[in-house]
Structures are given as structure tokens and as C-alpha cells.
């Protein structure tokens, strides 16, 4: 049902793209816009993962990395992928103090996962495993392609809406203004609906892959708390990619996001704690407590790269 809902929402986003094209150039404009949407989807299918990784200047890492924290991150991610029955993904590090992570790739055979230096420095080893199990759940569910294509179309709708106002507004200035305002909002709502459903499902399956839902719950709480104080400049430059991350990377500005692409973290934590109870894990301790020192001692407020 979740996959069907996602496909319907993607179809709606593509139809919106065509409607904006109709506003610009009538039937011909609509057909051109739909052709552009199809071409963009095809391009995103083959290249979106490379574009996302390049945008965030991600660097591939392997088990020979000199930092023991990065080696543990790589080894655990590969072990989790094997446990989930997935091919080994490419593993990346992003030099960014904001703790966060995402997965990308058109299918499990061409998947990549990335974590920021802020996340590696902040979380304990079991919490990092929980985060990477969540990202591998996105790979297993083939969410990575859907979410990347959604980001591509959402960004294009905003650009096309501006064209509708400047080039289609001469025939109908009020309609052009409404399209310029409402089309990006509608695209954001669709993007939000797709992402929220996918995040809940990835939390659930990630908990099954990693077997430690409470560790993921602690990680989510810490990531959100630290992300508020650390601006992710690359994410701010392209907000359409925000839904790729495990926690909204735009929270660094401290402003509420009207159309958040992520579910409320406390709801995700509550769901994970219920799963922990089913797994027979103790749930008396509140998520987010700093009682575990982790394999590298006290958790620093900054990542290992400063």
C-alpha cells in the first residue's frame, strides 16, 4: 500500500509539472513539460546519485581508513548490508559538522550510503549502526531512487513555476501569479507525503535489520538536537534534497519548516521504543541518555575532523 501511495503521489507531481507547462504554453507547453519531466526522470535514474554525492562533496571510504571510528563505521555498514541480504554499498563520508546521513542510488546493486563527520564524532558505535541500518532499509525498499527523483522534480517545478509567471503571465497575470505561488507549495506537500511514509517504514525495517531499535531512537534524538545548532550550508543551497537525510538538515537555521519532509522525531522515537519492547530490549531508560561511553570514549560535541 505504501508503494502504491508513493507511485500515485509521483504521478501527481508529474501531472503538476504538466499543468505548469500548460500555463506557460497551452497544450503544446504541457506536452513539452511532460516530455521534459520524462527526460528528467530518466536522467535522474542514471545520474541522480552521482549528483547528490557530488553536491555534498562526499568522499568514498573503505576499511583501510586511518581513523578507527571511520573503519568501524565502514565495517559495521558492510556487516549490516550482508545481514539484510543486500549487495555491499559504496560508503562515503561528508566533511560537515552537522550530524546526519542519507542513502542514494537507483537500486540495491548501485547503492551508496553517506554519513557526516559530525555524526561519526557524536554517536556511539551502536547508535551509528542503528542509523546505517535505517539507511540500508531505504536501499532495501528501493526508496533511494524514488526520493532522489522526487527531489529532482520538486526543484524543477519551482523553476518552471517562475517561468509560468514571467512567460505565461501575460495572458493571465493572476493565474501566473497563483501558479508561481501554489505550484511549489503543492510540490512540497507531495514531497513531504512521500518522505514521511518512507521514513516511518525505514525506521521499522532498519530496527529489524540492526536489531537495536532503542539505539536508533537515541541516535535520532541526538541528531535532531545537535542539527539545530549546526547549519548544513550545502543542504540550505538545495532544500529539495533535504528529504534524503535521516533528520531534516534545514533545522540549522532554527526556524520552523511549514512543510517538513520528515515526521516528528518524538513520534519516530515512540514507534521505535514500542519495537524495542517487542524485541525484548529494556525500555525503562529514556532515549538519548549519555550512559554509554561508546567504543571511543566520551562523545565529543564536534566531529573527529574538528
- Annotated active-site positions, please? 135
| Total Cβ atoms within 10 A of residue 208 | 15
Burial 30-50 (b: 16+ CB within 10 A, else e): beebbeebeebbeebeeebbe
Residue with cell 534534497: 241
Burial of 92 (0-12, 13-18, 19+ CB in 10 A): buried
d(CA 300, CA 68): 15
The three cell numbers locating residue 264: 516528528
Contacts of 39 (CB under 8 A, 6+ apart): none
Secondary structure (3-state) at 97:
coil
Contact 253, 190 (CB under 8 A): no
Secondary structure (3-state) at 223:
helix
| Total Cβ atoms within 10 A of residue 291 | 7
**What is the C-alpha end-to-end distance of the chain, expressed in Å?**
44
Q: What is the three-state SS of 151-165? A: HHHHHHHHHHHHHHH
d(CA 133, CA 213): 10
d(CA 30, CA 24): 8
The three cell numbers locating residue 46: 542514471
Amino acid at each position: 500500500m505504501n508503494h502504491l501511495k508513493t507511485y500515485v503521489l509521483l504521478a501527481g507531481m508529474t501531472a503538476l509539472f504538466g499543468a505548469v507547462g500548460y500555463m506557460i504554453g497551452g497544450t503544446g507547453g504541457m506536452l513539452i513539460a511532460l516530455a521534459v519531466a520524462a527526460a528528467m526522470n530518466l536522467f535522474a535514474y542514471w545520474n541522480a546519485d552521482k549528483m547528490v554525492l557530488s553536491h555534498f562533496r562526499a568522499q568514498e571510504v573503505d576499511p583501510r581508513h586511518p581513523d578507527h571510528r571511520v573503519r568501524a563505521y565502514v565495517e559495521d555498514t558492510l556487516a549490516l548490508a550482508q545481514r539484510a541480504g543486500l549487495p555491499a554499498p559504496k560508503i562515503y563520508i561528508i566533511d560537515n559538522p552537522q550530524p546526519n546521513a542519507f542513502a542514494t542510488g537507483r537500486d540495491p546493486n548501485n547503492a551508496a550510503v553517506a554519513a557526516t563527520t559530525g555524526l561519526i564524532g557524536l554517536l556511539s558505535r551502536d547508535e551509528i549502526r542503528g542509523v546505517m541500518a535505517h539507511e540500508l532499509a531505504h536501499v532495501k525498499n528501493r526508496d533511494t531512487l524514488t526520493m532522489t527523483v522526487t527531489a529532482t522534480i520538486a526543484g524543477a517545478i519551482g523553476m518552471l513555476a517562475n517561468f509560468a509567471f514571467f512567460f505565461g503571465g501575460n495572458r493571465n497575470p493572476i493565474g501566473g501569479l497563483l501558479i508561481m505561488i501554489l505550484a511549489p507549495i503543492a510540490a512540497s506537500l507531495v514531497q513531504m507525503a512521500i518522505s514521511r511514509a518512507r521514513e516511518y517504514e525505514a525506521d521499522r525495517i532498519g530496527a529489524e535489520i540492526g536489531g537495536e531499535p532503542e539505539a536508533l531512537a537515541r541516535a535520532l534524538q541526538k541528531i535532531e538536537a545537535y542539527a539545530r545548532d549546526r547549519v548544513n550550508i550545502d543542504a540550505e543551497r538545495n532544500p529539495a534534497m533535504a528529504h534524503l537525510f535521516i533528520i531534516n538538515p534545514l533545522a540549522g537555521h532554527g526556524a520552523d519548516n511549514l512543510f517538513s519532509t520528515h515526521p516528528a522525531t518524538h513520534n519516530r522515537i515512540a514507534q521505535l521504543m514500542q519495537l524495542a519492547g517487542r524485541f525484548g530490549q529494556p525500555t525503562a531508560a529514556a532515549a538519548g541518555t549519555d550512559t554509554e561511553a561508546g567504543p571511543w570514549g566520551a562523545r565529543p560535541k564536534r566531529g573527529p575532523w574538528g
